Structures are given as structure tokens and as C-alpha cells.
Amino acid sequence: MGKKKKDTMELRFYEVPQGEYVLALLGDNWIRDYGHDESNLHFHNLMEIGYCKNGTGELILNEETKRYEPAMVSIIPQNYPHVTISDIAEGPSYWEYLFFDPMVMIQELYPDNAVMQKKVLQMINRKALFFHEWENRGISVLVKMLMDEMRQKKNHFNDCVRGLLIAFFTELLRMCESDVSEDEVKKKTGVSQITAALDYVRLEYANNIRVEELAKASHMSETHFRRVFESYMNMSPMDYINLMRVQKACDIMKKTNDPMDVVAQKVGFTTTSTFNRNFKKYLNTSPYQWKISPENYERKLLNYNISALKGW
């Protein structure tokens, strides 16, 4: 038990089903030996809510290692490195998960208030939360109700999920606000050194981003930032920015019929030719060909050389 985590990480993309608020990973498929076939920490493009139904082991959250057991809840922000490692001697663990984009809830709660939206996003992405069910009954009940709604999918389940998710998000904000954490004054170590840069890219990918700005957000010199970033992400900052833009472009192309020049502009590419060149780099095809048959190509993006995987 307790494998040594490596410096490089896996970026795993999840997609919330169109027209829904959460992606639910539920049922017997999630009874498994966690962590023993993995070598790296990973992080997600969405917020992860986990509930342990059975089993014991370790949950590594960035630089911290926590013991888990049944009836424990984990709330892991976007871009937050983690891995679950079940105890071999105890057999498989049973976790269930919900994934959602917190910005969807933030925009519903604080419409037309970009300053507040950014402040709230930074607050909830500051650290991962991990606790026994009895330590926060309110959030735990809401998590189980959300999972039950997604499991059963009765009439009007999506409206119910929306209401429960807003209630969950409100309780999460209360928990974050009341959590007087020493993390704010500790010197950042490990991948936490670049978390602010990853958040910056996620928020500003559609704009012109300079590496100098990412270094400033991470409180480093540009030279040192580039070295640290590449040591963890196994790619340059600009390559990461463009990978995010291509992924966002795929999302837009799935959901709209926008012309390619409009898609390119929406995700931050200044010219269509730059968009096409980067799309070809990551997917080995053109945006037009991907649009015709995205299922043939999307896993090429998801298995790019930083191990950007789709889900588990």
C-alpha cells in the first residue's frame, strides 16, 4: 500500500451530458482496486464529488495523504492533483462520483457579476475537502440525494438535480468561508506551485495569454516558471494553453454549427490557420474532418503526450 507518486500527472477530461448538470459515475463498475494500475497523480477539468460506500485505503490530495473508509466524502476542485489507492489486503473499494462545472452554478448564482464569479471560483478551488459523513450532514445528504436522482432519473430529474446542486454549492461556499486554513500562509510546494497558472488558463483561454502573466500569477520569474511547469506537465505552457483551446473548440463544435473561423476566435486563436495548425498537431486531422465524425478522433486528443485521458 502507498505507492510513491511521480512528478508528472495525467490530465483527465470529462464531459457532462448535453442538457444535464452533472456527470454521474455510479454502480458496481466503481467497485475496483483503485490506484494499483496507475503511476501518476491526475487532475480533472471538472469538480469531482466522491462518496466512499465501502473499502479502505489512501486518498492522496496533492501533497497530503489521507486515510479513507466508508461514509467519507471528497470534494476535489478542478486542476487539483489526486489519486485513490485502495488497501490490497482489504480487497476492492466502492466509490461513486459526480462531476460538474462549478462555473455553471456560479453564473446562475451571480449573473452579470464577473468580479464575484472569479472570487467565488478562486475560493472553492483553493483546496480539496475530505471528511466523514457525520462531520457535515448537510453536504453529505445533498451528495447522496444527487446521486440517487442521477441513478433513478425519474420525471423532471434534471430540475431536481439543478436545485440540489445549487443547495450543495451554497453549502460548499459556507464551508469554504468558515474554513480558516493555514494553506494561505504556507509556502507552496509540488504541483501547487502552478495551480494558479492552470486556473488562469482555464478562465482566460479565449484571450491572449502570455507566459509572463502565468509566471506572475504563480509568483515566479518567467524562467523558473517555465522550468517548474514543464517538469510537472511534461509540456510547455504555450502547448498546454493551445491544448486547452483545442479541447474547448471540440466542445463548441459538438454543440453548435458555428463556422470554423468563429470557433477559432471563440477559443482564442487569432487566425483560422493557427487554429487549423494546432488542431492538426493534437488530433492529426482538420477541424472540418473532426466535425464530420468526432467519435473517430476525440481519443487522439485525450491521449496526447501529457496523458490527457478521458475519464478512468
pLDDT tens, 53-76?
A: 999 999 998 878 999 999 999 999
Residue 291 binned pLDDT confidence (cut-offs 50, 70, 90): confident
Which pLDDT score, from 0 to 100, does residue 188 have?
60
Question: Over pLDDT 70: what percentage of the chain?
Answer: 86
Neighbours of 288 (CB within 10 A): 11
**pLDDT in the model for residue 180:** 46
More confident position, 262 or 232: 262
State the pLDDT at residue 250.
Answer: 85
**Per CATH, which fold does 10-178 belong to?**
Jelly Rolls (2.60.120)
Q: Give, in degrees to the nearest 5, the angle at Cα 45 between 30 and 4.
A: 65
Would the pLDDT of 129 be above 80?
A: yes
Can you give the residue ranges of every domain in the chain?
Answer: 10-178, 191-310
Residues whose CB is less than 8 angstroms from the CB of residue 28 and which lie 6 or more positions away in sequence, other chains included: none
Task: Read off the pTM.
Answer: 0.71
CATH code for the part of the protein at 191-310: 1.10.10.60
2: left (phi over 0), alpha (psi -120 to 50) or beta: left
> Where is pLDDT greater, at 238 or 185?
238
177-181, 187-191, 235-239, 307-311: segment of lowest average pLDDT: 307-311
Determine the Cα–Cα distance for residues 237 and 225; give it in Å rounded to an integer: 9
CA distance 212 to 234: 19
Give the chain's mean pLDDT: 84
DSSP string of 172-232? HHHHHHH---GGGTSPP-GGGGGHHHHHHHHHHTTS---HHHHHHHTTS-HHHHHHHHHHH
d(CA 276, CA 269): 9
What's the pLDDT at 130? 94
DSSP string of 71-97?
A: SEEEEE-TT--EEEEE-TTT--EEEEE
